[in-house]
Amino acid sequence: MLRLLSLGLFALLLGSFGTAWGAPPKKEPPPPPPADADTAEQLYAKLDFEGANGVAERVIKKTGLSHQDLVRVYRVLAITYAVLDKEDQSREAFQQLLAYDPEFTVDANLGPKVSTPFSEARGYWRALPQKPGIETAVAVRVGEAGTIRVTTRDPSKMVKKVNVGQRWASSGDYQTSTIAVGDGVQVEVPAAPAGKTRLDYYVQALDEREDVVLEAGSKDVPKTAFAEAKGYGDKPKEKGGFLGSTTFWVIAGAVVIAGAATGGYFAFRPHDAPTSAALSPAVRCAGDLCN
């Protein structure tokens, strides 16, 4: 028993001496980098493809991502998967990226390791009848209610709802509404307040995770339309009864043209041409005029 106590005391003293002599303490692992688009792009720029890929994978697990962040993160994710020889994951990431940004193209300098899965993903979308996207058409006039018509193209059925925001002026709160996915879905716009002609608006399509997968404008950078002045483009009313009507002036014009044509004929005809013939009855008897 005494021997065990002695050994324990010796170990305790040895540990104390080790600390006093400057033995390095255990290092805690560094905290993971922030899971956001900025960090993923910074690591990618430093050629830390594994680090950038890991951050991007963490970001896409979040909910409520903006459209801009979705595009930025999936761009990093698709390219780093390709560089890390994960071709299937790269192709799937490129498919998602092209859903959010159908106009995206790959830098040819990245080589076939990246361009091959990208081309396959682009072929997937080309086989579908249309590209994803949002189209808007606005009709607003001063002093009158107007409309915003929204067409949401969603061939892959990723959109679950569409939000529309609108406001008269360049600041203040938006009036928001949720509409169905479809062609030419109409949103009512109230008449502009006095002195206001600028309409700010945006349309955002969200998936089941509340990520903004498609958009036309945003709260920070909205689309704009201006109310037309009242009466702009209206056809003026005809005045003055029959004398002021279009019909009267068409008939009058025809008469003038016909008169001019007749006058022209007589003005330019040959002077020796007969203009009339006088006929008088004459009776002959055996070849001679009868008395």
pLDDT digits (tens, 9 = 90+) for 102-137: 999 999 899 999 999 999 999 999 999 899 999 999
> Of 124, 60, 114, which is closest to residue 85 (Cα–Cα)?
114
Strand partners, 223: 201
The class of domain 133-226 in CATH terms is mainly beta
Q: How far is CA 99 from the centre of its chain?
A: 13
Range in 41-55, 85-99, 219-233 with the lowest mean pLDDT: 219-233
Q: Is residue 154's pLDDT more than 80?
A: yes
16 CB neighbour count, 10 Å cutoff: 10
Question: 37-126 sits in which CATH class?
Answer: mainly alpha
- Does residue 251 carry a pLDDT above 90? no
pLDDT at residue 234 in the model: 52
Domain boundaries, the chain: 37-126, 133-226
Least Cα distance to 134 among 222, 189, 65, 202 occurs for: 202
For the entire predicted model, the pTM comes to: 0.69
37-126 and 133-226 share one CATH topology? no
* pLDDT tens by residue, 155-182: 999 999 999 999 998 888 999 999 999 9
* Interval 52-71 mean pLDDT: 97
Beta bridge partners of 149: 137, 186
Confidence of residue 31 (pLDDT cuts 50, 70, 90): confident
Q: How far apart are CA 153 and CA 113, in angstroms?
A: 31
Minimal CA–CA distance to 76: which of 47, 116, 113, 111?
47
| DSSP at 170 | S
